[in-house]
Every structure is written in structure tokens, then in C-alpha cells.
Amino acid sequence: RAKSLGNNQYCFYTSQLTTEIERRFSLENELRHAIEQEKLQLYYQPKVDLMTGRIIGAEALLRWEHPQQGFISPEIFIPLAIETGLINSIDRWVLFQACQQMQRWQVEQGYHVSIAVNLSNFINHDSLLVVLKRCLKQTQIDPVYLELEITEGFVMQNTESVMENLNAIKQLGVRLSIDDFGTGYSSLSYLKRLPLDTLKIDRSFIRDIPDDTDDTAIVQTIINLAHNLNLSVIAEGIENQAQLAFLQQHDCDEGQGYLFSKAVPADEFVQLLQDSYLLCEPQKTLMSTKN
Ligand code: C2E
Ligand code: MG
Ligand code: MG
Ligand code: MG
């Protein structure tokens, strides 16, 4: 088509491509600066026990406020970071920040909430174990409150070394969950080989429950699968009461979503925690009891 439209169209297309490449390149440089100058921020989204309604933990989600462009979605800068290798320093920083935050909540506020951290391909990285051990040692947190969320894709990439890493992580007492479960590889055989604690049902399956009969079947099947494998199960992207009611009726253990709260800065999260405690009976040890 470009040919039939003649040279002008072709030139237009090329300059558009060049602009796109330049834009990505400058975004990459800006991201590098943001990492170096610690301009990235962690926000925390509550994880809720669906039986009691109580907040039992948080997922740490990265936020980047660009000086000119405002907040840039992790859906954009995380893939860029993966392509450029910046992801390793990001994951490293996030891990340490999250452990430090948890230590502050535990020591200063007396809240024992778990924090989940997303690890992209850092899970394949040789230094992961060293970094993880250092984080645990420096912050003195109980490893059982730290959870690592990994996706099926990364688990399948490099099976042997990933297996070794995951087993070693498990030995430390850190918990492991499969994020976006159901959207990656269709092979289920890895579930019995990996030392997992939790399956996290992808948001795309939650969106149309309880009306969509395919999705209700899939969600019920994942919940049963998790429980039969002695894993806990959490649903992400809960936005309304009907979704919540369905998940409660079908014994989903935990949930996350805008219905409860979006991801918020650390001080706002503490406020949510306090409210959650006031609503439920006052008891300061919050941990999922599964496993
Ligand atoms: P994810 O780990 O699956 O995180 C869940 C995403 O769903 C988050 O988007 C969260 O804000 C969003 N979400 C939560 N509840 C709802 C809801 O009820 N409705 C809707 N529509 N969305 C909801 P976010 O923060 O934009 O992150 C997107 C992805 O970027 C994450 O997906 C994760 O894969 C990646 N990511 C975020 N932070 C980090 C990080 O610190 N490190 C790494 N490696 N990846 C990260
Ligand atoms: Mg996640
Ligand atoms: Mg997810
Ligand atoms: Mg997801």
C-alpha cells in the first residue's frame, strides 16, 4: 500500500517510525535517571480476606511520575525496562523498599501485614538470592510476610535455574505466587514441580463474572484446582459487589481490586489498615493461614 501511494507516504511513515524510536530512547534515558535518582515510588494495594473483609496484606505496585508527562503506566515502562535490562535494578530496588516498608509497619505501627512484590525476569537472575538474603538480613523482617509474584511466562522460560532459585527462595521461608494465572502457558505440569503457595486469578477472568458462564466456569475451576493442590487462591480486579459475592460463594480465599481500594501511597495504606482493624475485631496479627 505504501508503494502505491508513492514516495511521500513512505517518507511520512519513516519519519513517524523515527519519532517513535526517538521517543522510546528518551523515555529509556528518563527511566534510567528516575531509577538513579530514586524518583520511582511504591504504592500499596490492599489484599483482603474475603471471609472477614480484613486487609491481610498489600501488593507493592511501582509508580513513575514523569516530570512532564505525569504518571506513566507500568504497563508501558516495565516492558521497556525488561527490553533494556533496567528491570534488574528496578526489581532490586523494589524488593528492598518493600522490605523496609514492611519493617516500618511492623516495628513502628505494630501491623504484621504481608507485602507482595512483582518480580519480572529478576527471578532468572543469578543475584536474586544474594539480594533477597541481604534484604531480609538488613531489615530483619520475618520472611513469611514476604511474597514474590511471578508470572507463568517467566517460570517456564528457564526451567532448571528457575527451579533452583524458587526452591532456594522457599527454603528462606518466602512465599511464592503465580500472578495472572491462566493467561500464560497452558501447561499445568509446572504446578506440581514448583514450591508455590498461591494462585492469583487474572483480572480478565474476573471482569465478567457472574454473568459470563465461561468465566464463572474458569474461575470455579481455578479455585478448586488451587485448593486441591493445597494452595491458596486470590482474585485480582474485583470491582463490584456481584463479583465479590460470587467469589465468596465459591470459597475464593482472598481478593484485590478497586472495590476495596486502588494502590495508594504508604501513609494512606496505613489509614486503610486502621479502618480495616476498626471494622473487624481488634487483633494485630494478620496473616493468611493457608500453608
Ligand atoms: P499485576 O501484578 O497483575 O498488577 C495488577 C494490576 O491491576 C495493577 O496495575 C493494579 O493497579 C491493577 N488493578 C488492581 N485492581 C484493579 C481493578 O479492580 N480494576 C482494574 N481495572 N485494575 C486493577 P498497575 O499498577 O498498572 O501494574 C501493571 C503491571 O505492571 C502489574 O500487573 C505488574 O505486572 C507490573 N508491575 C507493577 N509494579 C511492578 C514492579 O514493582 N515490578 C515489576 N517487575 N512489575 C511491576
Ligand atoms: Mg502482581
Ligand atoms: Mg496480576
Ligand atoms: Mg494482571
Q: For 67-116, how does the pLDDT look when each residue is reduced to its tens digit (9 = 90+)?
A: 889 999 999 999 999 999 999 889 999 999 999 999 999 888 888 899 99
Q: For 3-19, how does the pLDDT look when each residue is reduced to its tens digit (9 = 90+)?
A: 444 455 555 566 777 78
Give yes or no for residue 253 CB within 6 A of ligand 1.
no
Strand 232-235 to strand 254-255: parallel, antiparallel, or no bridges (unpaired)?
Answer: parallel
Report the separation in Å between the CA atom of 258 and the middle of ligand 4, taken as the mean of its atom positions: 13
Residue to probe by mutation, ligand 1, list 38, 61, 179, 258, most atoms within 8 Å of CB: 61
**pLDDT number for residue 8:** 53
**Residue closest by Cα to atom 37 of ligand 1:** 61
**pLDDT number for residue 2:** 42
> Which residues are placed with Cβ below 5 angstroms of ligand 2, an ion?
118, 149, 179
Residue to probe by mutation, ligand 1, list 78, 149, 202, most atoms within 8 Å of CB: 78
> Would you say residue 252 has pLDDT above 80?
yes
Could you please report the per-residue DSSP string of 179-222?
EEETSS----THHHHS---EEEE-HHHHTTTTT-HHHHHHHHHH
**Is the ipTM beyond the 0.95 threshold?**
yes
Which grid coordinates are listed for 229? 493442590
Q: For 31-64, how does the pLDDT look when each residue is reduced to its tens digit (9 = 90+)?
A: 999 999 989 999 999 999 999 999 999 999 999 9
**pLDDT number for residue 224:** 97
> Would you say residue 212 has pLDDT above 60?
yes
